[in-house]
């Protein structure tokens, strides 16, 4: 691999942009196709399919065997709510290899003492999220069950088509949440993507157990089906 | 902390820019039960330092040794590993799968 191609791949990854490295297995010729250029590429169809699945693999093109090294942005987790569950989730997420950011405007909760070595932003989600720019490769979990804090983040997560959106709260709390999002103009299909009650049904009781169930649910959403590059068009909703 | 794919390729770039000979090994095909998915990387420098994995540790030694040859002669190599048998004790996959690994030099 040429060093300039390797550098370019690393630049794309750092900028959270997808790309595909095409290697001819006979002879080793290589080129890098950026996500924005896929449409115009002779291999457009195969490259597009590879990006949708997020999986590397071998293909045939005009009788030649090519290998597609697919690079999609690293998965991030953004948690709204610096609560007890989050204290357990932060080290678990780190071990599992996920980049994690916590947002909570309540400075009594969002303290470095409670969250050592974690990216912690003591601001309102609507102020903190634009810089983070959630995308399809971001999971967002909502743990405050305070609509003032959760809702602006939820709206951003649905609009950005985050691959995982989970929100803590009883069925009753969630019912009210659904009503508020409908009033904001979100479509039923979008709202149905919110996982509530949050977490896999493993009978979790303690904050750490709930953290396990949420991390498991995030991994399920990530691995069980391809990241949705073809998610339904957003209804003209507020962002 | 476990190295993720992003750390691995970033490290390969660092090593090369520091003037070292570097090779990248990539799993290009798997059959049956294989420990690491297609697209997994192992990066190797000329001193035999490596990061990442292409199997559960079963064949890394052999890939590193082939990578040294690739760093030396610049030629890409396609390696194939199958089920462990006695003769291939060193380079077998005990899980019973087969994998194909592409090894190329960074230049």
DSSP A62-97: TTEEEEEEEE-PPPEEEEE--SHHHHHHHHHHHHTT
B7 contacts chain A (CB < 8 A): no
Please check whether residue A67 touches B, CB under 8 A: yes
A133 touches chain B (CB under 8 A): no
Separation CA A71–CA A13 (nearest Å): 7
Closest CA of chain A from B107, distance in Å: 5
Residue B39 to residue A57, Cβ atoms within 8 A: yes
* Prior bond of A197 cis (ω within 30°): yes
Query: What is the ipTM, given to two decimal places?
Result: 0.82
Q: Hey, are the CB atoms on B26 and A69 less than 8 Å from each other?
A: yes
Chain A residue at shortest CA distance from B70: A1
Residue A238 lies in a domain: no
pLDDT reading at A164 higher than 90: yes
Looking at the fold, whether A23 and A101 belong to one and the same domain comes out as no
Q: Domain range holding B16?
A: 5-106
Three-class SS of A162-221: CCEEEECCCHHHHHHHHHHHHHCCCCHHHHCCEECCCCCCCCCCCHHHHHHHHHHHHHHH
Same domain, A41 and A83: no
Do residues A64 and A100 both lie within one domain? no
Would you call A3 and B28 a contact, using CB atoms and an 8 Å cutoff? no
User: Using a CB-CB distance cutoff of 8 angstroms, which residues of chain B are in contact with residue A70?
Assistant: 39
pLDDT in tens, B7-36: 899 999 999 999 999 999 999 999 887 778
- How distant is the Cα of A27 from the closest Cα of chain B, in angstroms? 8
Residue A235 has pLDDT above 80, yes or no: no
CB contact under 8 A, B106 and A6: yes
Neighbours of A55 (CB within 10 A): 15
Query: How far apart are the C-alpha atoms of A17 and A70, rounded to whole Å?
Result: 11
Cβ neighbours of B39 in A, within 8 Å: 55-57, 69-70
Residues A128, A171 within the same domain:
yes
Q: How far is CA B57 from CA A116, A125, B35, B93, in A?
A: 33, 43, 9, 9
B39/A13 CB distance under 8 A:
no
Top residue of B18, B27, B37, B38 to mutate, by most chain A CBs within 10 Å, is B38
Shared domain for A142 and A188, answered yes or no, is: yes
Q: Do B104 and A28 touch (CB under 8 A)?
A: yes
Assess contact for A76 and A101: CB atoms under 8 A.
yes
* Residue A232, domain member (yes or no): no
The residue among A47, A71, A95 that closes a domain is A71
Question: What H or E segment, with its residue span, contains residue A131?
Answer: helix A125-132
- Could you tell me what percent of chain A has a pLDDT over 90? 76
Could you tell me if A11 lies within 8 Å of chain B, comparing CB atoms? Answer: no
Same domain, A56 and A157: no
Does any domain span residue A47? yes
Q: Are residues A81 and A62 in the same domain?
A: no
Residue B30's SS3 state is strand
Helix (H, G, I), strand (E, B) or coil at B22: strand
| Structural domain for A93, as ranges | 76-223
With beta carbons under 8 A apart, name residues in chain B contacting A7: 13
| A172 to A7, A197, B99: CA distances (angstroms) | 51, 10, 51
Q: Is residue A230 part of a domain?
A: no
Question: Which among B28, B107, B37, B25 has a CA at the least distance from the CA of A24?
Answer: B28
By C-alpha distance, which of A154, A161, A231, A169 is closest to A199? A169
Same domain, A89 and A16: no
Residue A233 covered by a domain: no
A13 sits in which H/E element: helix A3-14
Which of the two residues, A61 and A231, has the higher pLDDT score? A61
- A30 and A124 in a single domain? The answer is no
Dig out the tokens for A55 from the structure.
């999986």
Can you tell me which residue has the tokens 């003492």? A113
B90 at A interface, C-beta within 8 A: no
Whether residue B26 and residue A56 make contact (CB cut-off 8 A), yes or no, is: yes
> From first to last of its 107 residues, what are the pLDDT tens digits of chain B?
355 666 899 999 999 999 999 999 999 999 887 778 899 999 999 999 999 988 877 788 899 999 999 999 999 999 998 866 544 455 566 666 788 999 999 99
Confidence of residue A168 (pLDDT cuts 50, 70, 90): very high
Q: What distance in Å separates residue A120's CA from the closest CA in chain B?
A: 20
- Same domain assignment for residues A109 and A192: yes
What secondary structure does DSSP assign to A32-58, as a single string?
EEEGGGGGGSTTHHHHHHHHHHT--EE
Q: Do A117 and A199 share a structural domain?
A: yes
Tokens 């420098």 belong to: B45
- With a cut of 70, say whether residue A33 has pLDDT above it: yes
A231, part of any domain:
no
* In contact, A232 and A189? CB cutoff 8 Å: yes
CB contact under 8 A, A28 and B76: yes
């Amino acid at each position: 691999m040429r060093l300039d191609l390797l550098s370019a791949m690393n630049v794309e990854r750092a900028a959270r942009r997808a790309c595909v490295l095409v290697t001819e297995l006979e002879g080793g010729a290589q080129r890098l196709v950026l996500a924005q250029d896929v449409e115009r590429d002779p291999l457009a169809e195969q490259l597009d399919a590879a990006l949708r699945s997020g999986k590397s693999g071998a293909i045939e093109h005009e009788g030649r065997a090519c290998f597609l090294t697919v690079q999609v942005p690293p998965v991030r987790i953004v948690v709204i709510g610096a609560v007890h569950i989050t204290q357990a989730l932060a080290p678990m997420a780190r071990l599992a290899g996920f980049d994690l950011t916590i947002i909570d405007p309540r400075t009594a909760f969002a303290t470095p003492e409670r969250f050592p070595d974690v990216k912690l932003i003591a601001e309102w989600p609507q102020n903190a999220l634009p810089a983070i720019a959630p995308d399809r490769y971001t999971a967002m979990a909502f743990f405050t069950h305070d609509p003032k804090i959760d809702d602006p983040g939820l709206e951003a997560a649905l609009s950005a088509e985050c691959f995982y959106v989970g929100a803590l709260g009883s069925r009753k709390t969630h019912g009210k949440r659904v009503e508020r999002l409908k009033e904001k103009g979100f479509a039923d299909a979008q709202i149905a993507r919110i996982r509530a009650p949050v977490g896999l049904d493993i009978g979790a009781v303690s904050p750490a157990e709930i953290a396990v169930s949420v991390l498991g649910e995030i991994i399920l959403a990530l691995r069980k089906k391809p990241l949705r590059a073809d998610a339904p068009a957003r209804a003209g909703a507020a962002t | 902390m476990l190295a993720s794919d992003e750390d691995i390729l970033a490290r390969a770039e660092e090593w090369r820019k520091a003037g070292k000979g570097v090779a990248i090994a990539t799993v290009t095909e798997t059959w049956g039960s294989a420990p690491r998915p297609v697209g997994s990387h192992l990066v190797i420098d000329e001193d035999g330092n490596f990061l990442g994995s292409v199997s559960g540790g079963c064949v890394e030694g052999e890939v590193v040794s082939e990578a040294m040859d690739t760093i030396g002669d610049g030629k890409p190599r396609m390696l194939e590993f199958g089920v462990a048998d006695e003769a291939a004790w060193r380079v077998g996959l005990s899980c019973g799968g087969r994998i194909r690994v592409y090894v190329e030099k960074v230049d």
